[in-house]
C-alpha cells in the first residue's frame, strides 16, 4: 500500500471526571491510507468514537492528550491549541456523519441553509447563486427528490433516513479528504440502513474520499470496509484487511465478536455472547484488558500487556497467543469454520 | 477532589506496577505461558456497580463548599433564632424601654455591645440615689445652678471653673455651651458671675453623667459614705440603663429593643415560610395525585390550573390580603392559594411518567411491583424536587411577606416580622444615623433567604444523577 | 454552583408550557415556511424604536407606533392563516376570554364583600339615611348579579366606574390615562436596559462556563433571586441617591432622577434573562446539531451566534409580549419608593385609602394584562418556532 494520509502513534488520551481520570485511549497506533475504507469496530465505550474525534479536535474540554502523535498531511494535530488550526481541518479535510439524524440538524434552520453553510465555509470562491446551485446539486446527489422545494423545509419535515441523507450531504459539501461515519445507520430502520450505506459507499468512491466507519455492527463492516481495526478497552487489539479479520482472526476478542454474529449462529445452538462488561478505565488496566472475560487467557495476560504481533504486513494482533512460547489454542468451532471459509458472511 | 496524598499513593502504585512489568525475567515470563483458569464472573467485577444514589447525592453536596458554608450559617441562624428568647438578659420584643428616672422612651439608641457609658476608677466619689436593690442612679452633679442665679467663680480655667454656690464648692464645665464670661482681669478671682441658663455643678472636674442625666451603677460596686455619697469599690462601669444587657442592635423610634425584635421577627417570618412550604407540599402532592390518577378529573383540574396560573401571583396576593384582615394566617392563606400549583403540576407529571416512561414500562414488564418502581425509580427524584421546592418556598414566602407589608397590608408592628421591621426601617432612611434600623433586619433577612436559596439549589444539583459521575 | 438544574426544574413547573396550550399536531409536509426568526427579531426591534418615539412625546410618534403595531398584527394574522394555526389561535383566544370573564366575576364578587366605607369619601360625617341614599345611588343595594351585569355593560363602554376616596368622583379611566404613560416610559426603558445587559451577560456566562463571567453572573443571579426586591431597591435608593448627590424623589423633568428607578427595575429582569439564556444556551451547546456544525468547520464565534444563541433565544421570545404589556402596570416598589406618579404607586395608594372601585379596577387591569401577555407570548411562539405545530415536546410537560 501507499503512504498513509493519517498516522496515529502511541496515542494516550485521558478524561478527567470529578477528580478521577479515565484512560480512554491507551497507546493507540493506527495508519489510515488514502482511498481506503477503514472500519473501527468495538463495543460502545471501547474508545472508537473518542479516537476519531481526536482527528478533528472535537473531544470534550475535560479530555486531554497525554502523549502520542497524530500526523495528517505533515501537520501534528496533537499540537493544535488554537481554534483556527482546527478550522483548517474540520470539514475541509475531515468531515463527519453522526449517529442520530433526528438530532444532528438544527431544528430552526432550513435544510438548504444548513447545507449552504457548509458550502460557503469551504468553497469561498463561489458566488451566492453558484453556492445555491451547488447546494441543490448536493441534495440531488444524496437522492432527495425535488431539491428546490425540499431545501426550503425544516428538518422536522423530513423522515429519519432523509435527514441522514441531508447530514451526508452536509459532510460531502465540505469536500473533505476523509469522511468519518460514526455509526451512521444505528438509529435508522433496518430497511433504510442498506440504502444509506450504499449511498455513502457510492459517494465516497465517486469523490475519492477516504472513509472511516465506526460501528459495533460487523454486518455493516462486511458490506463497506476494506480494512478493519478491532478496538477493546481503549486500544486496537487487531487490525487487518477485511478478509484477514473475517477469515483469519487471531485475537480472542475478535473470535468472540465474530462468534456472537447472528449470521454465523448454528441453528438450534445458543448464540454466543461475551460474558461480563468492559474494563473500568478509571482503574489502571493490568496486562491484557480483555483477559478477565477471555476463556483463552494465559497467566501472562493478567500480568503483562501483550505487544503487537505481526501476522502479515497488513495484519497484526495484540495477544500473547501469537507468542511462540504460548501453548497451542484451538479457536472456537465457528471461527475454525470461518477459517476454512465454510461459512458465508454475506448471506 | 484529589488530595496530595492520593496523588502520591497513585504514583507509588504506578511505579510498583511498572517495576513488576519490567522486572519479569525471561524465565518468569516463560512460566506464565500457561492457560489461566477462566472465571465467568471475573468480567463483571470490572464494572461500575458500586453506586448508591443517596451516598452520591451526599458526596456531591459535600463537595459544594459554598453550600456547606451556607448550611452552617443557616443552621446557626435558625438555632439562634429559636434559642434567643431563652438566653439570659434578653428584652421583650414589644416592651417599650423607658429611662426609669425620667420615664422618657429610650428611642433611637444607637447599636452598642454594652450599656456601659463610661468606667470610673476605684475610689471615685459619686452622688447616688437608690433605684432598687441592685442598681443606683449615680452622677457627680453636686447641685444644679438654675437660670439667672448669681454665683462666685473662684478659679477660672479654659475647661473647668471652680465655683461657689449656695455655700457649696464645685466645678462647672466651661465650654462653648456654658461659656462663662471672662472678667476684665482674669487674675482677679474670685468674682461674681451670672448664669444665663441652667448649669450643673460637678463634684470634680469630670463629667460622670450622660449629658447631665444620671447613670446607673450596680449596688455591689458602691460603698456608701453617707448623705447620698458613695465611693466606688473598684473600677466601675456607669451604665445608661439599670441593666447589664445591651441594646445590641439599638432601639427603634419608640424605644423597643431592635435585637429582640429582629429575632422575634425572624421567628415569625421563618414560621410563615415553613408553614407555607409544608402546605405547598401537602396540597400540591394531594392535588397532584388526584390530578394524575383520576383521568376523569384531568381535564377539569387542568382548566382550573390554567385559570389560576394565568393570573399574576402578586395580584392574588394583594387581593386576598386586601379582603381579609391582616394576620399571619391571612398571609399564609394568600400565599398557599397559588403556590400549590407548581407542586401539583410536578406530581401529576411524575404520575404520568410512572405510567408512560420507557424505563418504568420496562420495569413493569419485568414484573416489578408498582411500589418498588415508586421507591426505586421515582422517589429519589421526587424527594429531591420536593425538597428543592420547599427550600425555595421559604425565601420566596419571606419575600412575599415583605412585599405585602410594604404595600400596607401586612402584619401590624406588634407582631414583629422581618417584613414590617424592614418597612419601619425604610421610613427612616433619610436620616443616616438611623439607618441601622433598616440594615440589621435587612442583613438577617438576606442571610436567611440567600442560604435557603443556595442550599436548595446545591441539593438539587447534588440530587441530580447526571452529576454523580 | 450550578443553576441549570434549578432552571430545568423550574421549566418543568412553569405554567407556560401548559397542557392544553399546545397547538394541534398536524403534519403538513411541503408547506412554505416564512422566515420565523426574522419576525421575532423585527418584533424586538420595534421595542427600542417605540421607546424612543414615546420619549419624544409627539402625537405623530404615537400614531406611528400604532401604525407599527397594526403592521405587526397584520403580519401576525397572515402567518397564523398561512401556517394553519387558525384553529389553535381561536381556541386560545376563547380560552383566554373565558379566563378573563371568570377573573372579572370573582374579583367583582369578592370586592362586594368589603366594608362599605370604601365607597365614601366622608363616611364618618354621614348619618344612616345619607349612607343608604348614596349606596342606592351607586346601585349597591341591587342584587349582585344585577350589579355585575351593569358593571359589564359599563365596561363595554369603556367605563370602569369612578373613584370614591382617592380622588372622589373622577372617572377611573381618566385617572389611569394620566398615570399610565410614566409607568410605560420607565418600564420600556428598564426593559430595554435589561435586554441590553441581561442577554450579553447570559451569553457570556454560557460561553465561559465556570470562568469569570459565569461566576460573576451566578453570584449576581443568586443575590437578585434570593434577596427580596424590597431590600435591594431600598439600598439602591439609599446609597445611590446619596452617592449621586440627588434627591430621593423622582422628578420628571430631571433626567438624572430617572437613572436609579430604571436601573433598579431592570435588575430582576437582567438576572432572569441571563439565567434563562445561559440555561437554554448550555442546553443547545450539548445538542448533536451543534457538534455536527462544529465538525463541518463552523468557527466557534459564528457557531455561538448563528446556531446556539439564535436557537436559545427562541424560547425567550415567548416572554417578551407579557413583559411589554406589564410595563403598563409599573413597579409597585419602585414607584412608591421614588414617589413616581405612575400605576404601581397608584395601587398602593388606593389600597391605603381603601378606595374599593379603584382597587377593583386596578386588580382587573393587572390580571387582564397578565392573561393577554401570556396569550400573545404563546401565539408568538407558535408563529416563530417551525416545530411547534409538529413535534410533541418530550419529557415533563
Are A251 and A328 members of one domain?
yes
CB contact under 8 A, A87 and C299: yes
pLDDT at C38: 57
Looking at the predicted structure, is the pLDDT value of residue B203 above 90?
Answer: no
- Of residues C33, C295, C311, nearest to A106 (C-beta): C311
Whether residue C56 has pLDDT greater than 80 = no
Q: Cα–Cα distance between B187 and B153 in angstroms, integer?
A: 12
Please tell me the total count of domains within chain C.
Answer: 1
Cβ neighbours of C394 in B, within 8 Å? none
In C, which residues are within 8 Å of B431 by CB distance? none
A83: nearest CB among C287, C299, C306: C299
User: Would you say residue B13 has pLDDT above 80?
Assistant: no
Give the phi and the psi of residue A96 in degrees, each rounded to 5. Answer: -140, 145
**pLDDT value of position A137:** 92
Chain C residue numbers with beta carbons less than 8 Å from the beta carbon of B403 are 228-230, 332-333
The label of the residue with cell 421549566 reads: C11
pLDDT at B142 over 70: yes
What is the rounded average pLDDT of the residues B430-445?
87
The C-alpha cell 447589664 sits at B244
Nearest to C1 among B67, B343, B388 (CB): B67
Please report the pLDDT score of residue B9 as a whole number: 53
Least confident of A144-148, C36-40, C179-183, C192-196: C36-40
Average pLDDT, chain B: 80
**Measured distance CA(B189)–CA(B208) in Å, rounded:** 27
The CATH number of the domain holding residue C195 is 1.10.3720.10
Whether residue A284 is predicted with pLDDT greater than 80 in this model: the reply is: no
Task: Report pLDDT digits (tens) over B455-467.
Answer: 988 888 888 777 7
Determine the pLDDT at residue B3: 47
CB contact under 8 A, A156 and C289: no
Give the pLDDT band of residue B50 (cuts 50, 70, 90): low
Query: Cβ A296–B42 below 8 Å, yes or no?
Result: no
Task: Name the CATH architecture for the domain at B65-80+254-467.
Answer: Orthogonal Bundle (1.10)
Quick check: A171 and C296 CB within 8 A? yes
* Cβ contact, residue pair A300, B33, below 8 Å: yes
Indicate if the pLDDT at residue C213 is higher than 60.
yes
> Which tops the pLDDT comparison, B63 or B37?
B63
Residues A206, A72 within the same domain: yes
Distance, CA of B53 to CA of A128 (rounded, Å): 55
Distance CA C198, CA C250 (A): 25
Q: How far apart are CA A295 and CA A230, in angstroms?
A: 18
User: What does each C-alpha distance from B10 to A234, B4, B197, C65, C182 come to in angstroms?
Assistant: 21, 10, 87, 70, 68
User: What would the grid cell of residue B16 be?
Assistant: 510498583
Using omega within 30 degrees of 0 as the cis cutoff, is the peptide bond preceding B190 cis?
yes
Indicate yes or no: CB of C351 within 8 angstroms of CB of B430. no
- Distance between CA A340 and CA C88 in Å, rounded? 67
- C-beta atoms of A108 and C295 within 8 A: no
Q: Which of A69-78, B9-18, B45-54 has the highest mean pLDDT?
A: A69-78
CB B101, CB B215: distance < 8 Å? no
Task: Out of B48-52, B339-343, C375-379, pick the least confident.
Answer: B48-52
A50, A108, A109, A119, best to mutate vs chain C, most C CBs in 10 Å: A108
Cβ neighbours of A253 in B, within 8 Å: none
**pLDDT tens profile C294-305:** 888 888 888 888
Q: What is the pLDDT of residue B46?
A: 52
Domain limits at C343?
91-384
B121 touches chain A (CB under 8 A): no
The answer, for C351 touching chain B at a CB cutoff of 8 Å, is yes
pLDDT in tens, A151-161: 988 888 888 88
Are residues A35 and A147 both part of a single domain? yes
Residues of A in contact with C287 (CB under 8 A): 103
Which residue from C80, C72, C85 is spatially nearest to C43, judged by alpha carbons? C72
Residues in A touching B38 (Cβ below 8 Å) = 294-295, 297
CB pairs under 8 A between A and B: 79
pLDDT digits (tens, 9 = 90+) for C312-358: 888 888 888 888 888 888 888 888 888 888 888 888 888 878 888 88
Q: What share of chain B is helix, strand, coil (3-state, %, to 5)?
A: 50, 15, 30
Distance from CA of B65 to the nearest CA of A (A): 15
**CA proximity to B215, closest of B238, B246, B247:** B238
Using CB atoms, which residue from A18, A280, A300 is nearest to B29? A300
Is C173 part of a structural domain of the chain?
yes
Residue C265 maps to a domain: yes
Residue A166 is predicted with a pLDDT of: 93
Q: How many CB pairs under 8 A join B and C?
A: 155
Residues A35, A184, single domain; the answer is: yes
Tens of pLDDT along B341-364? 888 888 888 878 776 777 777 777
What is the pLDDT at residue C59? 64
- For residue C26, being part of any structural domain is answered with no
Between A139 and C41, name the one with better pLDDT.
A139
pLDDT of res. B300 = 86
Is A292 close to B46, i.e. CB distance below 8 A? yes
- What are the residue boundaries of the structural domains of chain B, listed by start? 65-80+254-467, 116-239
Check pLDDT > 70 for residue B254.
yes
Q: Mutate which of B284, B300, B306 to test chain C, going by most C C-beta atoms within 10 A? A: B306
What's the DSSP call for residue C251? Answer: -
C109 DSSP β-pair partners:
none
Instruction: Tell if the CB–CB gap between A320 and B24 is shorter than 8 Å.
Output: no
Closest to A304 (Cβ–Cβ): which among B24, B43, B469?
B24
Number of domains in chain A: 2
Nine-digit cell string for C344: 404601581
Q: Which residue of C has its CA nearest to B432?
A: C238
Phi-psi group of C120: left, alpha or beta (phi > 0 → left; psi -120 to 50 → alpha; rest → beta): beta
Whether A137 and A177 share a structural domain: yes
The reported pLDDT for the residue numbered C21 is 36
Range in B298-307, C31-40, C269-278, C372-381 the model is least confident about:
C31-40
Percent of chain A scoring above 90 in pLDDT? 23
How many of the other CB atoms lie within 10 Å of CB of C2?
20
Q: Is residue C158 part of a domain?
A: yes
Q: Give the predicted TM-score (pTM) of the model.
A: 0.78
Which positions in chain A touch C288 (Cβ < 8 Å)?
98-100, 103-104
Range of the domain at A148: 4-225
Residues A59 and A204 in one domain: yes
Residue C23 has pLDDT above 50, yes or no: no
Please state, for a pLDDT cut of 70, what percent of chain A lies above it: 96
* SS3 category, A36: coil
Q: Which region among A339-343, B51-55, C388-392 has the lowest average model confidence (pLDDT)?
A: C388-392
Higher pLDDT, A93 or C353: A93
Q: Which residue has cell 464472573?
A: B41
ipTM of the complex: 0.82
Does residue C6 register a pLDDT over 60?
A: no
pLDDT score of C140:
72
Say yes or no: A207 and A319 in one domain.
no
Nearest CA in chain C to A149: C30
Grid cell for residue B330? 391571612
| A99 close to A182: Cβ distance less than 8 angstroms | yes
Q: Which residue has the higher pLDDT, B105 or C37?
A: B105
Query: Looking at the structure, do residues A183 and A108 belong to the same domain, yes or no?
Result: yes
Q: Name chain C contacts of B454, Cβ cutoff 8 Å.
A: 1, 222, 226
User: Are residues B307 and C96, on separate chains, in Cβ contact within 8 Å?
Assistant: no
Q: How far is B365 from chain A (nearest CA, A)?
A: 24
The answer to whether residue B311 scores a pLDDT higher than 50 is yes
| Residue C374 distance to chain B (closest CA, Å) | 7
C-alpha cell at A115: 447545507
Q: What is the pLDDT of residue C310?
A: 86
Answer yes or no: do A198 and A259 share one domain. no
Look at residue C95 and tell me if it is in a domain: yes
pLDDT for residue B8: 52
Based on the fold, state whether residues A44 and A182 are members of the same structural domain: yes
Between A213-227, B44-58, C133-147, the lowest mean confidence (pLDDT) is in B44-58
State whether A153 and C289 contact (CB < 8 Å).
no
In this complex, do A303 and B43 lie within 8 Å of one another by their Cβ atoms? no
Is the pLDDT at B393 greater than 70? The verdict is yes
B348 φ/ψ sector (left φ>0, alpha ψ -120 to 50, else beta): alpha
Tell me which chains share at least 3 CB pairs under 8 Å with chain B: A, C
All residues of chain B having their beta carbon less than 8 Å from the beta carbon of residue C234 are 422, 426, 429, 438, 442
Show residues of chain C in contact with B353, CB under 8 Å: 396
pLDDT-derived band at A231 (thresholds 50, 70, 90) equals: very high
| CA B42, chain centre distance (Å) | 57
Whether residues A209 and A267 share a domain: the answer is: no
Q: How confident is the model at residue C61 (pLDDT cuts 50, 70, 90)?
A: low
Measure in Å the smallest separation between the Cα of A8 and chain B Cα atoms.
Answer: 24
Residues A81, A28 share a domain: yes
CATH assignment at residue A239? 3.40.50.300
B3 interfaces chain A, CB cutoff of 8 Å? no
Comparing A345 with B102, which gets the higher pLDDT? Answer: B102
Region B317-340: mean pLDDT is 86
Chain B partners of C114 at a C-beta cutoff of 8 Å? 322-323
Neighbours of chain A (3+ CB pairs under 8 A): B, C
pLDDT at C28 (0 to 100): 37
CA–CA distance, C228 with C332 (Å, rounded to integer): 14
Give the one of A277, A283, A298 whose C-beta lies nearest to B33's C-beta. Answer: A298
Amino acid at each position: 500500500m501507499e503512504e498513509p494520509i493519517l498516522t496515529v502513534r502511541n496515542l494516550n488520551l485521558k478524561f478527567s471526571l470529578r477528580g478521577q481520570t479515565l484512560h480512554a485511549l491507551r497507546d493507540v497506533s493506527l495508519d489510515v491510507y488514502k482511498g481506503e475504507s477503514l472500519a473501527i469496530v468495538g463495543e460502545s465505550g471501547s474508545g472508537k468514537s473518542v479516537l476519531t474525534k481526536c482527528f478533528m479536535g472535537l473531544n470534550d474540554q475535560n479530555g486531554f492528550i497525554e502523549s502520542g502523535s497524530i500526523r495528517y498531511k505533515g501537520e501534528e494535530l496533537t499540537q493544535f491549541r488554537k481554534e483556527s488550526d482546527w478550522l483548517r481541518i474540520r470539514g475541509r479535510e475531515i468531515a463527519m456523519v453522526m449517529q442520530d439524524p433526528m438530532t444532528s440538524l438544527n431544528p430552526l434552520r432550513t435544510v438548504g441553509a444548513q447545507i449552504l453553510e457548509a458550502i460557503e465555509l469551504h468553497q469561498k470562491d463561489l458566488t451566492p447563486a453558484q453556492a445555491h446551485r451547488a447546494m441543490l446539486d448536493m441534495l440531488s446527489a444524496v437522492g432527495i427528490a425535488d431539491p428546490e422545494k425540499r431545501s426550503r423545509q425544516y428538518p422536522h419535515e423530513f423522515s429519519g433516513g432523509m435527514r441522514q441523507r441531508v447530514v451526508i450531504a452536509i459532510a460531502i459539501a465540505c469536500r473533505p479528504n476523509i469522511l468519518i461515519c460514526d455509526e451512521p445507520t444505528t438509529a435508522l430502520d433496518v430497511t433504510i440502513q442498506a440504502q444509506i450505506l450504499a449511498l455513502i459507499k457510492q459517494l465516497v468512491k465517486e469523490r475519492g474520499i477516504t472513509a472511516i466507519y465506526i460501528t459495533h455492527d460487523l454486518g455493516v463492516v462486511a458490506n463497506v470496509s476494506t480494512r478493519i481495526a478491532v478496538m477493546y478497552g481503549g486500544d486496537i487489539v487487531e487490525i487487518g484487511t477485511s478478509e484477514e479479520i473475517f477469515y483469519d482472526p487471531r485475537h480472542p476478542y475478535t473470535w468472540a465478536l465474530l462468534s456472537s454474529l447472528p449470521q454465523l449462529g448454528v441453528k438450534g445452538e445458543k448464540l454466543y455472547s461475551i460474558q461480563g462488561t468492559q474494563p473500568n478505565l478509571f482503574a489502571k488496566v493490568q496486562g491484557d484488558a480483555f483477559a478477565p472475560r477471555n476463556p483463552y487467557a494465559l497467566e501472562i495476560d493478567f500480568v503483562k500487556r501483550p505487544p503487537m504481533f505481526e501476522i502479515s504486513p497488513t495484519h497484526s494482533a495484540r495477544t500473547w497467543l501469537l507468542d511462540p512460547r504460548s501453548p497451542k489454542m484451538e479457536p472456537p468451532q465457528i471461527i475454525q469454520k470461518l477459517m476454512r471459509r465454510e461459512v458465508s458472511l454475506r448471506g | 477532589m484529589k488530595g496530595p496524598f492520593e496523588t502520591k499513593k497513585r504514583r507509588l502504585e504506578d511505579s510498583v506496577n511498572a517495576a513488576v512489568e519490567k522486572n519479569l525475567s525471561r524465565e518468569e515470563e516463560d512460566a506464565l505461558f500457561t492457560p489461566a483458569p477462566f472465571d465467568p464472573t471475573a468480567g463483571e467485577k470490572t464494572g461500575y456497580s458500586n453506586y448508591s444514589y443517596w451516598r452520591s447525592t451526599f458526596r456531591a453536596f459535600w463537595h459544594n463548599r459554598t453550600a456547606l458554608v451556607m448550611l452552617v450559617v443557616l443552621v446557626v441562624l435558625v438555632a439562634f433564632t429559636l434559642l434567643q428568647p431563652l438566653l439570659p438578659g434578653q428584652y421583650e420584643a414589644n416592651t417599650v424601654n423607658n429611662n426609669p428616672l425620667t420615664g422618657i422612651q429610650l428611642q433611637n439608641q444607637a447599636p452598642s455591645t454594652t450599656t456601659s457609658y463610661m468606667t470610673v476608677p476605684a475610689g471615685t466619689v459619686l452622688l447616688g440615689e437608690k433605684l432598687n436593690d441592685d442598681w443606683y442612679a449615680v452622677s457627680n452633679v453636686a447641685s444644679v445652678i438654675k437660670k439667672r442665679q448669681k454665683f462666685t467663680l473662684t478659679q477660672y480655667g479654659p475647661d473647668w471653673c471652680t465655683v461657689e454656690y449656695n455655700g457649696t464648692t464645685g466645678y462647672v464645665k466651661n465650654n462653648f455651651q456654658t461659656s462663662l464670661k471672662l472678667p476684665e482681669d482674669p487674675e482677679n478671682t474670685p468674682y461674681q458671675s451670672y448664669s444665663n441658663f441652667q448649669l450643673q455643678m460637678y463634684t470634680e472636674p469630670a463629667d460622670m453623667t450622660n449629658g447631665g442625666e444620671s447613670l446607673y451603677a450596680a449596688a455591689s460596686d458602691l460603698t456608701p459614705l453617707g448623705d447620698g455619697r458613695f465611693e466606688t469599690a473598684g473600677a466601675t462601669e456607669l451604665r445608661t440603663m439599670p441593666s447589664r444587657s445591651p441594646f445590641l442592635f439599638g432601639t427603634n423610634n419608640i424605644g423597643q429593643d431592635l435585637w429582640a425584635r429582629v429575632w422575634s421577627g425572624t421567628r415569625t417570618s421563618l414560621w410563615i415560610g415553613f408553614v407555607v412550604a409544608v402546605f405547598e407540599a401537602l396540597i400540591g402532592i394531594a392535588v397532584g395525585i388526584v390530578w394524575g390518577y383520576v383521568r376523569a378529573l384531568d381535564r377539569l383540574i387542568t382548566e382550573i390550573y390554567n385559570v389560576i396560573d394565568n393570573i399574576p401571583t402578586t395580584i392574588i396576593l394583594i387581593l386576598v390580603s386586601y379582603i381579609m384582615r391582616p394576620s399571619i394566617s391571612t398571609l399564609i392563606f394568600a400565599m398557599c392559594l397559588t403556590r400549590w400549583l407548581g407542586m401539583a403540576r410536578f406530581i401529576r407529571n411524575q404520575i404520568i411518567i410512572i405510567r408512560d416512561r420507557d424505563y418504568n414500562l420496562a420495569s413493569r414488564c419485568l414484573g416489578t411491583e408498582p411500589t418498588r418502581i415508586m421507591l426505586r425509580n421515582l422517589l429519589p427524584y421526587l424527594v429531591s424536587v420536593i425538597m428543592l421546592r420547599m427550600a425555595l418556598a421559604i425565601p420566596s414566602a419571606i419575600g412575599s411577606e415583605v412585599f405585602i407589608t410594604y404595600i400596607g397590608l401586612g402584619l401590624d408592628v406588634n407582631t414583629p416580622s422581618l417584613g414590617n421591621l424592614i418597612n419601619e426601617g425604610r421610613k427612616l432612611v433619610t436620616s443616616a444615623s438611623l439607618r441601622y434600623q433598616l440594615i440589621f433586619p435587612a442583613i438577617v433577612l438576606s442571610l436567611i433567604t440567600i442560604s435557603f436559596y443556595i442550599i436548595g439549589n446545591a441539593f438539587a444539583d447534588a440530587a441530580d444523577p447526571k452529576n454523580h459521575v | 454552583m450550578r443553576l441549570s438544574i434549578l432552571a430545568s426544574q423550574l421549566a418543568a413547573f412553569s405554567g407556560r408550557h401548559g397542557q392544553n396550550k399546545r397547538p394541534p399536531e398536524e403534519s403538513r409536509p411541503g408547506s412554505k415556511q416564512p422566515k420565523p426568526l426574522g419576525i421575532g427579531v423585527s418584533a424586538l426591534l420595534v421595542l427600542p424604536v417605540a421607546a424612543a418615539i414615546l420619549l419624544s412625546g409627539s402625537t405623530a410618534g404615537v400614531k406611528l407606533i400604532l401604525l407599527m403595531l397594526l403592521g405587526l398584527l397584520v403580519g401576525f394574522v397572515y402567518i397564523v392563516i398561512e401556517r394553519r394555526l387558525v384553529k389553535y389561535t381561536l381556541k386560545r383566544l376563547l380560552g383566554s376570554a373565558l379566563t378573563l370573564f371568570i377573573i372579572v366575576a370573582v374579583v367583582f364578587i369578592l370586592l362586594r364583600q368589603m366594608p362599605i366605607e370604601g365607597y365614601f369619601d366622608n363616611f364618618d360625617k354621614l348619618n344612616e339615611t345619607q349612607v343608604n341614599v348614596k349606596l342606592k345611588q351607586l346601585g349597591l343595594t341591587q342584587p349582585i348579579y344585577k350589579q355585575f351585569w351593569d358593571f359589564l355593560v359599563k365596561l363595554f363602554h369603556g367605563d370602569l366606574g369612578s373613584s370614591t376616596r382617592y380622588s372622589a368622583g373622577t372617572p377611573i379611566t381618566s385617572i389611569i390615562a394620566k398615570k399610565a404613560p410614566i409607568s410605560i416610559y420607565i418600564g420600556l426603558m428598564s426593559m430595554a436596559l435589561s435586554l441590553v445587559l441581561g442577554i450579553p451577560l447570559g451569553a457570556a456566562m454560557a460561553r465561559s462556563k465556570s470562568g469569570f463571567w459565569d461566576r460573576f453572573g451566578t453570584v449576581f443571579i443568586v443575590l437578585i433571586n434570593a434577596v427580596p426586591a424590597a431590600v435591594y431597591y431600598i439600598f439602591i435608593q439609599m446609597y445611590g441617591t446619596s452617592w449621586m448627590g440627588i434627591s430621593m424623589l423622582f422628578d420628571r423633568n430631571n433626567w438624572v432622577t430617572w437613572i436609579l428607578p430604571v436601573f433598579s427595575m431592570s435588575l430582576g429582569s437582567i438576572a432572569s434573562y441571563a439565567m434563562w439564556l445561559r440555561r437554554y444556551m448550555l442546553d443547545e451547546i450539548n445538542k448533536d446539531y451543534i457538534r455536527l456544525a462544529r465538525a463541518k468547520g463552523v468557527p466557534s464565534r459564528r457557531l455561538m451566534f448563528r446556531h446556539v444563541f439564535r436557537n436559545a433565544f427562541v424560547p425567550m421570545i415567548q416572554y417578551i409580549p407579557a413583559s411589554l404589556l406589564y410595563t403598563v402596570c409599573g413597579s409597585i416598589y419602585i414607584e412608591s419608593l421614588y414617589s413616581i406618579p405612575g400605576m404601581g404607586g397608584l395601587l398602593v395608594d388606593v389600597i391605603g385609602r381603601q378606595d374599593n372601585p379603584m382597587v377593583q379596577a386596578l386588580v382587573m387591569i393587572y390580571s387582564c394584562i397578565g392573561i393577554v401577555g401570556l396569550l400573545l407570548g404563546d401565539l408568538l411562539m407558535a408563529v416563530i418556532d417551525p416545530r411547534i405545530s409538529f413535534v410533541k415536546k418530550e419529557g415533563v410537560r
